[in-house]
Structure formats: C-alpha cells, structure tokens
Amino acid sequence: MSILAKMDIMKMTRITATAAKNEFGRILDLVNEGEVVTITRHEMERAVIMSMQMFKSLSSSADRALQALSGEFDALVERMQTDESRRAMKAAFDAPPSQLGATARKQACKR
C-alpha cells in the first residue's frame, strides 16, 4: 500500500497552535504512534507534524514520481528531434500571421 493510500486511513489529530506549544511532548507521542497532527491558528490549518519515517516515505515517493516524469519528458523531446520536426518548426516560425490564423481556425473546427 502506498504512503498516500495509508494517509487516507490514518488518524489525524487537529490541535491549536497554543495547545501545540503547551503540549508539544504529547504531540510527539502521537506522531510516534503513527498519527499526523495538524496545527491550526485562528481556525486555519497552518502546519503538519508527522513522523520522520512518514516524511522520508513521502519525500522518496515524490522523487520517484518526478524522476519518472523527467524521463518521459526527455523521451518526448528526443522523439521530436527529427528532420521532419525541424522542418515543421521552421515552417511555423516563417509562416505569415494570416496562415497561422487560418491553421488555428482549422484546428479549432476539428474539435
């Protein structure tokens, strides 16, 4: 089960900033038991306290997702590096505004 799925089923405790200041030891105990504590100030959520294990898991999940997207982007750019793509881009940049407008209208009508 992914860490994000686990977060949907885990217990979250909401506490005011004043209570957090006065009961920080209790908050650390809750976090070490697997809870996530949300700190509020003037009834607005301002911060979250979670275990180091959960933080590392979330961080590594984000890193893996970013690496996957980066790989997909690099592959897409690589596929675009063809003579045909270069010719098409040169033609687009050299086209007069009237031709660009006509092409845009034509594409919009297809949708």
Residue 10 in any domain: the answer is yes
User: Is residue 42 scored above 60 in pLDDT?
Assistant: yes
User: Is residue 89 scored above 70 in pLDDT?
Assistant: yes
Rounded Cα distance, 71 and 103, in Å = 32
**Which band of pLDDT confidence, cut at 50, 70 and 90, is reported for residue 10?**
low
Rounded Cα distance, 60 and 51, in Å = 14
- Domain containing 78 equals 1-93
Phi, psi of 46 (to 5 degrees): -120, -30
> Which whole number is the average pLDDT over 81-98?
88
> Which whole number is the average pLDDT over 37-47?
94
Residue 109 in any domain: the answer is no
Residue predicted with more confidence, 57 or 45: 45
User: Is residue 2 scored above 60 in pLDDT?
Assistant: no
Residue 37 in any domain: the answer is yes
> Which whole number is the average pLDDT over 81-89?
87
Q: Could you tell me what percent of the chain has a pLDDT over 70?
A: 90
Amino acid type, 59: S
Residue 73 in any domain: the answer is yes
Residue 105 in any domain: the answer is no
**Where residue 13 sits, what CATH number does that domain have?**
3.40.1620.10
Residue 39 in any domain: the answer is yes
Rounded Cα distance, 18 and 23, in Å = 9
pTM, full prediction:
0.50
In the chain, how many domains are there?
Answer: 1
**Which band of pLDDT confidence, cut at 50, 70 and 90, is reported for residue 60?**
confident
Residue 102 in any domain: the answer is no
Residue 77 in any domain: the answer is yes
Per-residue model confidence (pLDDT) at position 4 = 47
